[in-house]
Amino acid sequence: MKHKTKKKKIDYSGYIFILPILTFFSVFVLFPMLRGIQLSLYSFTKRDPIFVGFKHYADLLLKSNDATIHTPFMKSLFNTITITAIAVPIVVLISIFIAVTIYDKKPAVRSFFRGVFYIPAISSVVSITVVWAWIYHPQFGILNYVFKNIGLIKESVDWLGDPRTAIYAIIAILITTSIGQPIILYVAALGNVPKDLLEAAEIDGATPWQVFRKITWPLIRPTTLYIVVVTTINSFQIFALIQLLTAGGPNYATSTIMYLVYKAAIIDGRHGLASAMGMILAIIIAIISIVQFKVLNKGTE
């Protein structure tokens, strides 16, 4: 049997329309990525780069290579995953809770709360860390003052200096700066859930939880997918808070991969090592994002 295939006529003029973004993408995203892969195979300890193959990757990942970067890197990898694993579900839960609470309020009230929760997202991270540094200050911090007054603690706690509390102190700030965008997205998504579906379910005797679980949640799942992926990527790339508040300490308790990348590239001039770390981070983020797409994308178009 011979299929008679019609040759598709392609209108190449369409490519002209995507040319600007394609150029931008190629120059500022694709080329740096490829260059990053290339850099990760070189050592920059001398004036001219020296090809070292996969040495940086082995130094980072293999204990047997006995490189000083191995332990900090593994600790940072663990911290990065911990921060993401804790922050992402909390961000999703808090933002959905707030969105559900405010989306059917009067427009003025809704706007007020959206504004309040969005402020940390648009504020300069430097200003935010200055404020949080004072909140957490081991001697004059307001958190110790409040907690001591309500009897939660007896002695002042060095929130950022104690390895038992430091990472959670950072996660708390990360959450406050991350929930603004998801709240706005959820409020918009909730507004798009057809009212008649909700009313029909209520008439059929569904409890509010059942309404949320069986109708609202599936309908806002695409938004959740977007929020989970974006928050995961942001959490994986946490850097400024660490750099400004703890410098990765105490004893690497808050060190993250992005912080090590910054240190290796900018402070030490070890661009090859920094690129290798960046590549490993990119691969991890890509794998996690694919899994998230597969899991959360079921049943949605």
**What is the contact mask toward another protein in residues 136 to 155, using x (rule: CB under 8 A)?**
x-xxx---------------
Give 51's strand partners: 42
Tell me how far apart the alpha carbons of residues 157 and 165 are, in angstroms, rounded to a whole number. Answer: 9
131 lines the binding site for another protein (CB under 8 A): no
CB of 16 vs another protein, minimal distance in Å: 18
Nearest alpha carbon to residue 261 among 246, 247, 278: 278
Token output for 199: 């009313």
117 lines the binding site for another protein (CB under 8 A): no
What secondary structure does DSSP assign to 6-32, as a single string? PPPPP-THHHHHHHHHHHHHIIIIIHH
Give the nearer residue to another protein in terms of CB position, either 76 or 181. 76
266 lines the binding site for another protein (CB under 8 A): yes
Size, binding site for another protein by CB under 8 A: 33
Q: What are phi and psi of 3, to 5 degrees?
A: -80, 130
The one among 271, 274, 277, 278 contacting another protein by CB under 8 A: 271
The one among 41, 228, 263, 275 contacting another protein by CB under 8 A: 263
Query: What single DSSP character describes residue 5?
Result: P
The H or E element that residue 54 is part of is none
CB of 268 vs another protein, minimal distance in Å: 5
| Helical axes 142-149 vs 125-135, angle rounded to 10° | 40
3-state DSSP assignment of residue 152: coil
User: Residue 42 to residues 49, 128, 263: CA-CA distances in angstroms?
Assistant: 6, 37, 17
**What is the contact mask toward another protein in residues 66 to 95, using x (rule: CB under 8 A)?**
xxx---x-----------------------
Give the nearer residue to another protein in terms of CB position, either 187 or 245. 245
**What is the contact mask toward another protein in residues 38 to 57, using x (rule: CB under 8 A)?**
-------xxx----------
CB of 154 vs another protein, minimal distance in Å: 15
Query: 182 preceded by cis ω (within 30°)?
Result: no
Of the ranges 14-22, 112-120, 233-241, 244-252, which one interacts with another protein (CB under 8 A)? 244-252
Neighbours of 60 (CB within 10 A): 24
249 lines the binding site for another protein (CB under 8 A): yes
- Enumerate binding residues for another protein (CB under 8 A): 45-47, 66-68, 72, 136, 138-140, 156, 158-163, 166, 245-252, 263, 266-269, 271
